[in-house]
Homo-oligomer: A and B are copies of this chain.
Amino acid sequence: MVSLSRSTAYGVLVLAALDPQGQEYRAAADVSAEANIPRPYLSKILARLQEAGLLEGKRGRDGGLRLAREAHRISLLDVVHAIDGEDWADQCLLGLPGCSGSCPCPVHAFWSGIKPRIEEVLQTTSIDRVRDFTDAGWKMTASGD
């Protein structure tokens, strides 16, 4: 299957559910409910987002989650890097070990052209774009297709 990990998708939804200004805290339980993410699993994702400096968690009473910077300054690529890792697209499409720039497989050249375009879209699409989207009534459900 050609797609990013589910965790990354969750990460995007989580960030999109927070105050785009990065000011107010919002309860994790709240986010969990809204984005339809299993609550305990959410924490794992939060950990990675915090490691990557995209998110701040405040413990204790009146604590919660908030963006580390404004939503329009966080890109989807930031999230991909934080969760799927920096090497999310190191391999070419066929993923043949031994395939590289110096020794390209038949689809390598094509992939070398496509990959930067995908990366660019992820780079230039920010979290608040997703926010607009979820605000428009979209809901993450199991049977969407």
Binding site for B on A (CB under 8 A): 1-6, 8-9, 12-13, 76, 84, 87-100, 103, 105-107, 110, 114, 117-118, 121-122, 125, 129-130, 132-133, 138-145
Contacts and interface: CB of A to CB of B under 8 A. Distances in A.
Contact of A3 (B93, B98, B132): B93
A100 B110 CA distance: 26
Residue of A89, A103, A114 with most chain B CB atoms under a 10 A cut-off: A103
Given A3-B93, A106-B130, 18 more contacts: A1-B89, A1-B95, A2-B4, A2-B118, A3-B95, A4-B95, A5-B95, A8-B94, A12-B94, A90-B145, A91-B145, A97-B145, A98-B138, A98-B144, A103-B144, A110-B121, A110-B125, A114-B118
Contacts of A138: 98-99, 103, 105
